[in-house]
Chains A and B, each alone.
Chain A
Amino acid sequence: MVATKSKALHLLTAAALALPLTAVYAGDEEATFQYGHYDEGARNLFNIQSALKPIQVDSLQTSTKLKLSDRVRLAFNYTQDTWSGATQIDTAPLAFGGNRQRLIAANTFSGASPYLQNANVFVDKNFNPLQQNSQTGKFTQNNQLVQTLSSASPETRKQGDLRFGYDWDEASLDVGAGTSAENDYNSSYGNVSGRLDFNQKLTSVNFGTSYTASNTEAMLDHDAAPYIEKSTFGTRVQSLPNGVKLVTGSKQDWSGSLGLTQILNKSALVEGNVSYTASSGYMANPYKTVAVLFVDPNQKLGASGQLNGSMLAFLEQRPGERNQWTESLRYVQHIEPFDASLHLDYRFYHDDWGINAHTLSADWIQPIGKSWSVTPRVRYYSQNAASFYTPYVVSKQAASTVTFDVNGNPVRTIYDPKLLPQNYSSDYRLSGYGALSGGLTVTKKFAKGLELQAGVEYYTHAGSLKLGGGGEGSYADFDGYLVNAALKVDLATLSIANSNHSEHSEHAHHHGAGTPAGVMFDHVLPNAGDTMVGYRYMYENQSGGTQNGTNSVSDTMLVNQACGSQKCFVTPQNMSMNMHMFELMYAPTDWMTLMLMPQFMDMHMTMRSLDGAPASPAMTTALGAAIVHSQHEHTTGGIGDTGMYALFKVFKTDAQQINLSLGGTAPTGDSAIQLRDIHQQDLGFIHYGMQLGSGTWDFKPAVTYTANIDDWTFGTQLNGTKRLASHNNSGFALGDIFQATSWGSYSWTNWLSTSVRGIYTAQGALKGAYNGVYHQIGSMDYVRNYGGRFVDVGFGVNASMPNGSLKGNRLSFEWLQSVHDDVNGYQLPRYGALSATWSYAF
């Protein structure tokens, strides 16, 4: 007890002496994993009942900080977002009917589809929009605006960055670089930042600079492209041979910041920061258009005093330069009576696009007892509109006029693009509005440096919330919520805890030291109270020529045989999957270990047309639209099924061990993902293999035998997956799996071993079939073309640290090479799989 107290005091003093280094508070050595989910409410489409799902985003973040020496720090961050749902494409008067409704059955609405062109709209002589009653033909003024929505199939972004830091006694310098990749936007960045301490570390100066280079390469939406005016495309938009319109652009950002952190007294500190960013290049959103209403002012007024106009859609135009300034002030005050801390932040932002924005936020961090803390939070944001923001443009000229030349032939002249404004955008993010959000975060610290955090935040965006009034109309209002769950492992605390626990070093070395990275369920923690956290990554790829059984097949055979009584139009070309799994293990007794295993995944699939396939039906049919859509890579991502297991030590001697694992997965992964509508066609469910979860509760038993002989380890495992339902809510069930694997590994030193492994897997075909709309365009849309019998050989490297500052860490990699594929029906052969695992036992 006394020892613990003096250690705590020692740590606190050490931390206090290092003040006010913000990096110190954040933990020098830690691993963090976070899952986040953002879900938005539906937009108001007034008279349209839209079945379009609003936007939702799933995010995964991992971050690792290590100390390479007393003064050298290394940090690695990885972020992955997957989003899908409806977004605003432009804004127009409600009277012009931008969102077309589609009735697919009585009272069943499919998504509303965007309607960007309308050559027959009416305004009064003051250019107010007029609504025509379809029965009486009577006109009434209707100035109500509405956003035109368009939906998107799932898309994924991945970002990784690396940062090195060096600490002097009273200064530090960090250098970092990273890259972010998504289908249509890539960026790379580098930054340098530093800190200088003065005045016995009561005062610190922070400075930083960064450079970012970004490239946009976006295919215009299938449905929208034909309706977007081309006169203002310039060289920005290229037409590809397959009819696709590609928007390209590049952008550079330079940024610099200067800040001052000051300790005011024993319980308060403040930071002031000024930053400047200069951006140049293409800064528009390639998917946003602006509605331009063309009205010839010289036409005769109609019988009801109406003018006839045409509404056309233009790609939004933004200035090629943007200069942004931000000044922020952050204040932290300890509140003695509650032992709480209050954080007050204010930020003022302004740029030369005419936007001024204020952000105010307050957090109250309330510790409860020794290990809990609760943080309520409130934030207010307000901005005014960019100078070129406009819901839609009114151009007082005819969209086109017809005159006759000397020979009496009609000559059509279109509008003069020079009469349009230079820049225009109807992106609601550039409008005037306010946003209010509030949330709650709960944190629980466990012994041994483990911390869990869960938070929720509700966000509401409204024109009426703008500071000083005059914000955008309520048609653009929306709300949403953001939830997050994070696990933080303080590696520095763990090392200290570990050094007092000599018996742990034994197991950290022996246990699983030679197990290949791809093997799970082999590890029962040795002592009651032991904990292990781990991260597993797996990449799988299927590519090459499609097989039937063990034989490769020609396109002609695929067309005629792989799709049952139908013909195949396309075939998968490449399928890949990334899985991130988190292992949380705890041993309530020395003979049983409980394991929780959340998963996060993303999948990608490309297809190609088959030679000799029948002619694709017209794009106005659902099958035709599905075939056209297959030219794009299909992507899905998000949380997968969650594993829950109990591992039992059945038999154990010094050299041999048998473990039994019982448990399974809960259907937390989505098994009802659908493709977006295109060409006003409902494409329905995505291909079976692209769903993120099985949709069924799955039983997954495993039995593992391991033996250690000198520097050798041998192991054998039998495992299976039994689906506990005949079908999921989408109508199908994945096939059951049986797997047998054996491995041998040799320890070259006390920390490094290599392994060789053989695996046999048998998996059944899918059962049932989708119970809703889906279109069968290739072999992957037929349930019998799943499963098979497979043989793989694995080569692995394992490193486990028996002592030193990295004690308790285990890192291993394994490459699985597919050597024999006997597939059910017609499938892409497996190319191989990579597994990487990191685990930390303490």
Chain B
Amino acid sequence: MIFKENFLVPFKTGAFFCLLFLSGCSAVSPWERGTLAKSEMNLEPSPLQNSLRSHQYGSREAASGGGQSSGGGCGCY
């Protein structure tokens, strides 16, 4: 039952994102991307620290993963 109720959620969310993207963007020329090139504007500014945190959250919370597909060990404690 739970499966059926939730099945459409990803698609609905996806549709929402598409609309958001299409409406919200303006053309940004390559030479206007100086700010975006700063390291703190990276989607993942500290990948190593993030992996440590994710590992700790993963060992304490039921909802793990969901970012990029990576796989990995347990390290459960």
Query: What is the interface of chain A, defined by CB distance below 8 A to chain B?
Result: 12-13, 15-17, 19-20, 22, 25-26, 32, 34, 36, 38, 55, 57, 59, 61, 63, 79, 81, 83, 85, 87, 152, 155, 157, 159, 176, 178-182, 185-187, 189-191, 193, 200-203, 206, 208-212, 214, 253, 255-257, 260-267, 269-277, 285, 323-330, 332, 334, 340-341, 343, 347-355, 357, 359, 363, 365, 367, 373, 375, 381, 383, 386-387, 429-430, 435, 441, 443, 453, 455, 457, 459, 461, 482, 484, 486, 488
Contact = CB atoms under 8 A, between A and B. Distances in A.
A200 B27 CA distance: 9
A81 B28 contact: no
A272 B62 contact: no
Contact of A267 (B14, B21, B30, B36): B36
Contacts of B25: 202, 262-265
Nearest to A384: B62
A185 B32 CA distance: 50
A486 B49 contact: yes
Given A262-B24, A429-B61, 9 more contacts: A12-B37, A59-B55, A264-B25, A264-B26, A265-B28, A272-B17, A325-B9, A350-B6, A386-B62
A157 B43 contact: no
B38 to A, nearest CB: 7
A261 B25 CA distance: 12
Interface of B: 2-3, 6, 9-10, 13-14, 17-18, 20-21, 24-28, 30-49, 51-53, 55-57, 60-63, 65-77
Contacts of B69: 191, 193, 208-210, 255-257, 275
A267 B60 contact: no
A31 to B, nearest CB: 11
Contact of A255 (B3, B26, B43, B71): B71
A155 B59 CA distance: 15
Contact of B10 (A55, A271, A274, A441): A274
Contact of A359 (B10, B20, B49, B63): B63
A265 B13 contact: no
Closest 6 CB pairs of A and B: A180-B73, A326-B66, A189-B71, A25-B42, A349-B63, A357-B63
Contacts of A435: 60-61
Contacts of B42: 22, 25-26, 332
Nearest to B73: A180
A269 B41 contact: yes
A363 B44 CA distance: 11
A542 to B, nearest CB: 28
Contact of B72 (A15, A159, A208, A264): A159
A16 B33 contact: yes
Contacts of A200: 27, 30
Nearest to A254: B69
Nearest to B12: A327
A61 B71 contact: no
Contacts of A267: 35-36
B24 A264 contact: yes
A20 B62 CA distance: 32
B20 to A, nearest CB: 7
B37 A381 contact: no
A265 B65 CA distance: 29
A20 B77 contact: no
B48 to A, nearest CB: 5
Contact of B62 (A63, A210, A383): A383
Contacts of A25: 37, 39, 41-42, 45
Contacts of A185: 73-74, 76
Contacts of B46: 441, 443, 453, 486
A325 B6 contact: yes
Given A25-B42, A273-B67, A19 B33 contact: yes
A202 B28 contact: yes
Contact of A22 (B24, B44, B71): B44
**Residue among A267, A375, A383, A488 with the highest chain B CB neighbour number at 10 A:** A267
Given A200-B30, A357-B61, A22 B37 contact: no
A12 B35 CA distance: 9
A45 to B, nearest CB: 19
A350 B66 CA distance: 10
A266 B47 contact: no
B35 to A, nearest CB: 5
Contacts of A264: 21, 24-26
21 contacts: A16-B37, A17-B33, A19-B33, A22-B42, A26-B42, A36-B52, A59-B52, A87-B77, A180-B72, A185-B76, A189-B71, A209-B69, A212-B71, A253-B71, A265-B25, A324-B65, A327-B9, A334-B41, A343-B45, A348-B9, A435-B61
A419 to B, nearest CB: 24
Nearest to B10: A274
Given A16-B31, A260-B17, A265-B28, A277 B65 contact: yes
A16 B70 contact: no
B63 A326 contact: yes
Given A16-B34, A435-B60, A26 B44 contact: yes
